[in-house]
Amino acid sequence: MTALLSIRDVSVDLSAGGWFGGTAPLNILAGVTLEIVPGETLGLVGESGSGKTTLARAVLGLQPISGGRVRFDGRDLIQPADFRAIRSRTALMFQDATASLSPRMTVGEAVTEPFAIHGVAVNNHRDKAAELLVEVGLPPEMAARYPHELSGGQARRVGVARALALKPALVIADEPTAGLDVSVQAEILNLMADLKDKHGLSYLIITHNLALVRHVADRIAVLYLGRLVETGPTRAIFADPRHPYTRSLTAAEPKPDPRKRRTDLAIRGEIPSILRRPNGCEFHTRCPLARDICRTQPPALKDLDHGRAARCHFAENTTEGGRHELEY
């Protein structure tokens, strides 16, 4: 199937100097390659500082790239005009839904604002707002309310309605359930799943929440220091993660029985600064499997079975069966 979104070898450098105190560019994203096919949900996972949001901004044309290629529906996105042309087909759901809504706009004005921004004529704004609100499970009367009168879940639904207004093909959702109660999180995820089925949407979900992507993503991509370290189908990655970072993330996922949490796989320390990228494998300072080779030789992203890939010298040996060889 042809990719809806294709990201090939994309890098983002920020110029250093000034208050960074150096002259070499800072490599925020390093040669990331990803694809999303129509109707697919890709979960982009990583800690804060891993480059997830930078990648989303690059896809939307909000962050210039210094290398590689972004294509949407077969069209190369290079000039600002290219991004403008596809902007009505991509939508962004913000992490802080309430803060992303103007406090001076009613809900009805907020959900129909994308039409004005993109110059799309609407016969009756009130009917359109009601239609969008009903689609996300809110009563039409809510169009008259202001953001401060909404609960967190209602604000999130308004954010979904606004994102859907122009019938996008791709929705980029930044931490779509952050800050919500567990029951409201489930409601928002069910709503997103229903809308995906109804409209054939694709999602790029940006999160540090493994439990979230486990339930909604078809495939997962794991970023570490702006580099793709593992990618593959969600079920395969949770059943048998091949990169120790992914293993650590999945092991740290909250479990109903805390005694089942794997403490031997816990990630050590903090993510290093991009100002001081470690030599060799950039995860070696925190990796429970690190060996001498890891401190000097950067591993390549290795293609594995079933459409999977992992960036680890021992990607073939890090399964449960091979762990003893590495004295895990």
Binding residues vs ligand SF4 (CB under 6 A): 243-244, 281, 283-284, 287, 289-290, 294, 299, 312-314
User: Cβ 260 to ligand SF4, closest distance in Å?
Assistant: 24
Q: Helices 182-199 and 152-164, interaxial angle, to 10°?
A: 10
Q: Cα–Cα distance between 113 and 131 in angstroms, integer? A: 14
Would you call 20 helix, strand, or coil by DSSP? helix
Sign of CA dihedral 134, 140, 143, 145: negative
Nearer to ligand SF4, 136 or 281 (CB): 281
Measured CA distances, 158 to 106, 110, 199, 238 (Å) = 11, 8, 18, 32
Nearer to ligand SF4, 179 or 280 (CB): 280
Would you call 307 helix, strand, or coil by DSSP? coil
User: Cβ 50 to ligand SF4, closest distance in Å?
Assistant: 15
User: Cβ 270 to ligand SF4, closest distance in Å?
Assistant: 16
Could you write out the DSSP letters of every residue in 27-65? EEEEEEEEEE-TT-EEEEE--TTSSHHHHHHHHTTSS--
User: Cβ 297 to ligand SF4, closest distance in Å?
Assistant: 8
Helix (H) / strand (E) containing 200: none
Nearer to ligand SF4, 157 or 242 (CB): 242
Nearer to ligand SF4, 155 or 267 (CB): 267
Instruction: Supply 244's token pair.
Output: 């120790």
Max Cα-Cα span within the chain? 68
Helix (H) / strand (E) containing 75: strand 75-76
Nearer to ligand SF4, 58 or 221 (CB): 221
Instruction: Supply 70's token pair.
Output: 């972004």
> Closest Cα partner for 108 from 153, 148, 161?
161
User: Cβ 246 to ligand SF4, closest distance in Å?
Assistant: 10
Nearer to ligand SF4, 165 or 220 (CB): 220
User: Cβ 135 to ligand SF4, closest distance in Å?
Assistant: 44
Q: Cα–Cα distance between 8 and 31 in angstroms, integer? A: 7
User: Cβ 314 to ligand SF4, closest distance in Å?
Assistant: 5
Nearer to ligand SF4, 137 or 278 (CB): 278
Nearer to ligand SF4, 159 or 244 (CB): 244
User: Cβ 227 to ligand SF4, closest distance in Å?
Assistant: 11
Helix then strand then coil, in percent of the chain rounded to 5, is 40, 20, 40
